[in-house]
């Protein structure tokens, strides 16, 4: 399987194709693909879903994906890496980054809000025009347009429920999940008592409520979400182990290694070394 890298923090391009030029590729960056026209199937990590115009797909680092075209298709492709995310002063950068990584659990279009589809369509038109003109201001304009697309994608991902969630789960659960994602780097704010107080529930009721709604315990969900972000730090950043420990609120390297080994069976250093071999 071939791996693709980018050598700029942001790349934007338009393509009209009859056959997917890259098949079963694994990227080392984020990729947003907007379908301007055409239809076919999008395959992500072995999951297949039909695509059509106005779909927006987000592929995260290390995902495997390809398009199987049924008709000639037009795409707007936006590629960016973690350094691009760090260049900008996002008001909710932690939350947004969590949401982007969560997209790898999804196979379909991230656009679920009808009003956002209309907004994205206009943004894509402007992005394509800016990309074609290549004037002195094009790069700055394209970055603003891409940032708007990232925010809209994150907003839509936030309302897509986890795969284990029961049908017809209530809105309070979505609020609880958003709270957890937003404070995933603050262990003190993720204690059962703190979360229960935040939403006016008793700790006992919160535990049973969450398990009933998500088919897993609250702590299992928090641990899995934190683990996923730690893994991405190891795979796609040059942060040292103690820096990752500080970022996610662990006391020291020993503490984070115990946590990581309990879930993955190896140390953070061993995991990083294995992934690079």
User: What is the model's pLDDT at position 52?
Assistant: 95
Q: How far apart are CA 52 and CA 257, in angstroms?
A: 44
Fold classification of 3-158 (topology level): Jelly Rolls (2.60.120)
User: What is the model's pLDDT at position 2?
Assistant: 46
Whether 74 contacts 16, CB under 8 Å? yes
Q: Where are the domains of the chain?
A: 3-158, 171-276
User: What is the model's pLDDT at position 69?
Assistant: 94
Q: How far apart are CA 166 and CA 178, in angstroms?
A: 17
User: What is the model's pLDDT at position 246?
Assistant: 93
Kindly list the distances between the CA atom of residue 106 and the CA atoms of 43, 47, 245, in Å, as whole numbers in the listed order: 11, 9, 28
Query: Per-residue confidence of the chain (277 residues) as pLDDT tens digits?
Result: 444 555 578 899 999 999 877 666 667 788 999 999 999 998 887 778 899 999 999 888 777 788 899 999 999 999 988 778 777 666 655 556 666 766 666 668 888 888 899 999 999 999 999 999 877 888 889 999 999 999 898 888 766 655 566 555 577 887 888 788 778 889 999 999 999 999 999 999 999 999 988 888 999 989 988 888 888 778 767 789 999 999 899 999 999 999 999 999 999 999 999 877 6
The CATH number of 171-276 is 1.10.10.60
């Amino acid at each position: 399987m071939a791996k693709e890298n980018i050598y700029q923090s942001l790349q934007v391009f338009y393509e009209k194709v009859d056959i997917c030029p890259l098949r079963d590729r694994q990227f080392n960056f984020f990729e947003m693909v907007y379908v301007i026209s055409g239809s076919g199937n999008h395959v992500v990590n072995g999951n297949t879903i039909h695509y059509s115009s106005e779909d927006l797909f987000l592929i995260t680092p290390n995902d495997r994906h390809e398009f199987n075209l049924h008709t000639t298709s037009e795409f707007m492709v936006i590629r960016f890496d973690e350094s691009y995310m760090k260049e900008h002063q996002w008001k909710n950068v932690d939350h947004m980054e969590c949401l982007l990584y969560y997209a790898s659990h999804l196979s379909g279009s991230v656009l679920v809000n009808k009003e956002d589809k209309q907004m994205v369509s206009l943004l894509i038109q402007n992005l394509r025009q800016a990309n074609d003109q290549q004037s002195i201001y094009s790069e700055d304009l394209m970055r603003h347009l891409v940032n708007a697309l990232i925010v809209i994608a994150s907003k839509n991902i936030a309302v897509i429920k986890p795969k284990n969630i029961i049908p017809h789960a209530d809105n309070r659960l979505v609020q609880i999940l958003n709270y957890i994602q937003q404070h995933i780097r603050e262990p003190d704010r993720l204690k059962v008592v703190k979360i229960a107080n935040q939403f006016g529930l008793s700790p006992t009721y919160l535990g049973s409520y969450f398990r009933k709604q998500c088919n897993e315990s609250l702590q299992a969900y928090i641990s899995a979400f934190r683990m996923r972000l730690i893994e991405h730090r190891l795979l796609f950043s040059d942060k040292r182990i103690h820096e990752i420990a500080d970022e996610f609120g662990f006391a020291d390297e020993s503490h984070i290694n115990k946590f990581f080994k309990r879930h993955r069976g190896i140390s953070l250093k061993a995991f990083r070394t294995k992934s690079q071999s």
